[in-house]
Structure 1
Amino acid sequence: MAANAFGLSLINSQEHYQQRIAQNREQELVDLRELIPDLVLDIRYATSRNLLGVALYPAAEAYLCRPVAEALVRVQAALAQRGLGLCVYDAYRPYSVSVRLYEHLQDENVAAPPWRGSRHNRGCSVDVGLVERATGRHVPLPTDFDELTPAAHIRFATLPTHILLNRTVLLAAMQAQGFINYPHEWWHFDFHRWAEFDLLDLPFAALRR
């Protein structure tokens, strides 16, 4: 892998990506819609309902590295026992999109800087909420996705009891399958093995089968 201007090694060609998969199948990014058919997608970066106010993705798609996606399958199964399911707001994010977000926000607490890259770029981070399985309606949680207020912090306590309970249910279900919450954002979870996976700057079209 060639290093970029910040010294990061990035996979940015489909050929190199396929070579990595041939070496290690775990590096493959899996379409979550295929693996979890009942998953609700609300991919905000495919719309203007996001921090930049413009669509950053050409389509509402969600990919994660194979073991991360398989862990999310188990989360979905556990939540189903409560009559709940996951709503995914974002999953794999191309490095170039992370650069755009950082250039706009200029805050390392809410956007990964270009010299570090994001765990989203590795297909190892996922932004999630909860829905009712029977209706598909969103379950109340502390804030909307990407609402960067104090209430977004995982330990913010000045909330109605039912919202605290919903947040606890989501956190517990994700942690049980090896996901680690980013405390500033109740919705953001990193897979515990994230460091084993490559930084990618591939468009969604390069990942489709």
Structure 2
Amino acid sequence: MKKTLKLVLCFAILIGIQTGQAEPIFRTNHILSESFIHQPDTGFVDLKTYDSNFSYDFRYATTNNFLKEKVYDCVQCLLRKDVAEALVRVNEKLKAKGYRIRLYDCYRPKGVQRKMWKIKPDARYVANPNAKGSSHNRGGAVDLTLETLEGKVLDMGTDFDHFGKRAHSDNNTLPAQILKNRELLRKTMMSEGFRPIRTEWWHFYFENAKKYSISNFPFDCQ
């Protein structure tokens, strides 16, 4: 397997040289597993096996969330492969500026979406599972914030899952530094195909997320 991986990586580098690129597009601290390399673009991947340069604060794997209930059995950021690749590119850009992504949520089973809707049936903040569902259910959305490379979280004006106007991405009445932090997050995410929503500064969906089917499989916590 190691020999196969070396051949794949060498081939990628040769392609980059021939096309005027000095290195492969996606740089990580890991050699990609053979199963990941052969994963279709629309398949699910675990971000941790792709790149270790992310921070995690999965509230739904704890009771520190608006449900007041642990609904994830473990911390596992599952995304469609092309979404994960785009997120890695975003993180590389942020790291060059001294920051990195801190993740709150990625793929979310539809069953969890139903629980959320039962407690907060407000489509401004929770997607209706009985309608189109959430891009989270498709593996095409992320909830996240920024932190320094030393682990200090940037001030975005509210905590994650704050249901109110202060969390709205179009709220321009906040202090200048908060607006600057949000703008850095928004612009960098949008540069790689992610789109924000008006009511939650932390939520971004991938531009092609609707092409993925809704899923409800549980996390594989091993």
Distance, in Å, in 2 between the alignment partners of 1:25 and 1:100 is 31
Matched position secondary structure for 2:102: strand
Aligned length: 184
Match of 1:192 among 207, 211, 221: 207
Larger Rg: 2
Tell me which amino acid in the other structure corresponds to 1:126.
Answer: V
The TM-score, its normalising length taken from structure 1, stands at 0.85
Instruction: Answer with 183-192 or 158-167: which moved more.
Output: 158-167
Distance, in Å, in 1 between the alignment partners of 2:129 and 2:175 is 38
Q: CA deviation at 1:120?
A: 0.3
Distance, in Å, in 2 between the alignment partners of 1:113 and 1:160 is 33
Instruction: Answer with 100-109 or 90-99: which moved more.
Output: 100-109
Matched position secondary structure for 2:205: strand
Match of 2:148 in 1: 132
The CA RMSD measured in Å over matched residues stands at 1.5
Match of 1:78 among 93, 97, 104: 93
User: In 2, are the aligned partners of 1:41 and 1:87 still within 8 Å (CA)?
Assistant: yes
Match of 2:41 in 1: 26
Query: Could you list the runs of 5+ residues in structure 2 that have no partner in the other structure?
Result: 1-38
Match of 1:10 in 2: none
Match of 2:135 among 119, 132, 136: 119
Query: Could you list the runs of 5+ residues in structure 1 that have no partner in the other structure?
Result: 1-23
Matched position secondary structure for 2:41: helix
More relative contact order, 1 or 2 (CA 8 Å, 6+ apart): 1
Match of 1:205 in 2: 220
Instruction: Give percent identity, aligned residues only.
Output: 36
1:39 aligns with 2:71: no
Match of 2:122 in 1: 107
Q: CA deviation at 1:157?
A: 1.4
Q: CA deviation at 1:26?
A: 1.9
Residues 65-122 of structure 1, C-alpha deviation per residue, up to 9 Å, x if partnerless? 0000000000000001110000000000000000110011111111111222111000
Distance, in Å, in 1 between the alignment partners of 2:123 and 2:171 is 20
